[in-house]
């Protein structure tokens, strides 16, 4: 199968295109965190992006290339950050969004998507049911499918976070992101390797959803089925374009345990006073486990999102006064 892969020039074009529409998120540091890991760590805080995740970058990069008069509807399947980001971006662009969501998704996530004015279409859990529902919708609606990660426009958009980080902190030795479908790591690698060829780009995954780790090691794209990890954003398997870019530009993929993910969330709350979602904590956990960055290095992390229900977090109990 031949697919079109994005290039660094696409990331640069995306940055110019979405710049006026996205938040230039802050880069944060913590002396306490640096002391824990014996490195200088720079958090690019996409948890503070519109919609609470980097996903708004890719969604905006697609929608700004569509003419609302010709393509009034955009369609996707996602119960998480991509669905929410596409819904927000569609509203900003005066388009309608239809998001196919599995029936068993968290009610708070469905409500968040609906609150943007998007149409939520429930389907049975599992990829075949999702794809069938998508096909039915696209047969009757003048819409365009916007895939969550396996799309060159999405990848280029996600790469703009790393582009901003390296523009602000040029001298990074390594840069890391979590890996789910691979939109973020592939865009990050495209941007980082072009801007600073000597940089090491490292992806981090839960041990329980290590499809990219397995794919990277074996050289062929592998999938995981229904992985059990708290990192809900990383349960999908790596896409075709994403794996091609991972193979070309990423230096390593590492894994962390569920306990390490939760402990990383707790440490980020302690040191940065930021509550980040478990998927984001996966890359932080890799730094804490000395799998991402070496002593004394300057390490950049894209903190991918902050969307978590407080009652999902093991150290946040529901007590009220």
312 binds its own copies (CB under 8 A): no
Which of 74-82, 165-173, 217-225, 312-320 is the region at the interface with its own copies (rule: CB under 8 A)? 312-320
Q: Taking the alpha carbons of 57, 266, 313, 256 in that order, is the dihedral positive or negative?
A: positive
- Which of 5, 12, 48, 289 touches its own copies (CB under 8 A)? 48
CB 137 within 8 A of CB 121: yes
Complex with its own copies: residue 67 or 319, whichever CB lies closer: 319
Place of tokens 């590492």: 254
**Radius of gyration (Cα) for the chain, nearest Å?**
18
Q: Smallest gap, in angstroms, from Cβ of residue 84 to its own copies? A: 11
314 binds its own copies (CB under 8 A): yes
Which of 5-13, 143-151, 221-229, 306-314 is the region at the interface with its own copies (rule: CB under 8 A)? 306-314
Per-residue binder mask for its own copies (CB under 8 A), 241-280, x = binder: -----------------xx--xx--x--xx--xxxx----
178 binds its own copies (CB under 8 A): no
315 binds its own copies (CB under 8 A): yes
Site for its own copies (CB under 8 A): how many residues?
A: 32
316 binds its own copies (CB under 8 A): yes
Q: What are 100's strand-pairing partners?
A: 77, 121
Place of tokens 């990890």: 229
38 binds its own copies (CB under 8 A): no
Complex with its own copies: residue 43 or 213, whichever CB lies closer: 43
5 binds its own copies (CB under 8 A): no
Q: Rounded to whole angstroms, what are the CA distances from 204 to 136, 182, 234, 318?
A: 36, 11, 10, 30
* Cβ-proximal residues to 240 (8 Å cutoff; 6+ apart), any chain: 1, 3, 150, 221
Question: Per CB under 8 A, which of residues 51..110 are in contact with its own copies?
Answer: 52
Q: What are phi and psi of 202, to 5 degrees?
A: -130, 130
- Which of 7, 104, 115, 294 touches its own copies (CB under 8 A)? 115
Q: Smallest gap, in angstroms, from Cβ of residue 68 to its own copies? A: 22
59 Cα distance to chain centroid: 11
Q: How far apart are CA 187 and CA 4, in angstroms?
A: 14
295: left (phi over 0), alpha (psi -120 to 50) or beta: beta
CB 50 within 8 A of CB 23: yes
Binding site for its own copies (CB under 8 A): 23, 25-26, 28, 31, 47-48, 52, 115, 258-259, 262-263, 266, 269-270, 273-276, 306-308, 310, 314-321
């Amino acid at each position: 199968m031949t697919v079109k892969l994005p290039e660094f020039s696409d990331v640069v074009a995306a940055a110019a295109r979405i710049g006026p529409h996205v938040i230039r998120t802050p880069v944060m540091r913590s002396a306490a965190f640096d002391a824990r890991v014996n490195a200088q760590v720079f958090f690019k805080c996409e948890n503070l992006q519109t919609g609470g995740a980097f996903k708004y970058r890719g969604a905006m990069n697609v929608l700004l290339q569509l003419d609302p008069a010709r393509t009034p509807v955009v369609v996707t399947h996602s119960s998480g950050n991509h669905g929410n980001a596409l819904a927000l971006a569609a509203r900003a662009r005066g388009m309608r969004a239809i998001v196919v969501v599995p029936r068993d998704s968290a009610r708070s996530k469905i409500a968040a998507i609906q609150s943007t004015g998007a149409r939520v279409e429930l389907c049975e859990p599992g990829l075949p049911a999702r794809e069938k529902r998508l096909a039915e919708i696209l047969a009757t609606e003048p819409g365009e499918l916007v895939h969550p990660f396996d799309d060159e426009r999405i990848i280029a958009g996600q790469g703009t976070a790393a582009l901003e980080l390296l523009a602000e902190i040029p001298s990074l030795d390594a840069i890391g992101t979590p890996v789910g479908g691979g939109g973020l790591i592939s865009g990050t690698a495209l941007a980082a390797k072009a801007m600073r060829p000597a940089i090491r780009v490292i992806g981090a995954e839960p041990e329980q959803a290590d499809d990219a780790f397995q794919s990277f090691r074996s050289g062929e794209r592998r999938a995981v089925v229904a992985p059990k990890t708290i990192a809900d954003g990383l349960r999908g398997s790596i896409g075709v374009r994403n794996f091609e870019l991972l193979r070309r530009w990423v230096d390593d993929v590492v894994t962390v345990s569920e306990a390490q993910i939760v402990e990383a969330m707790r440490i980020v709350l302690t040191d940065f006073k930021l509550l980040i979602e478990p998927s984001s904590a996966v890359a932080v956990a890799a730094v804490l486990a000395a799998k991402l960055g070496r002593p004394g290095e300057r390490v950049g992390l894209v903190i991918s999102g902050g969307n978590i229900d407080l009652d999902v977090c093991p150290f946040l109990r529901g007590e009220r006064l």
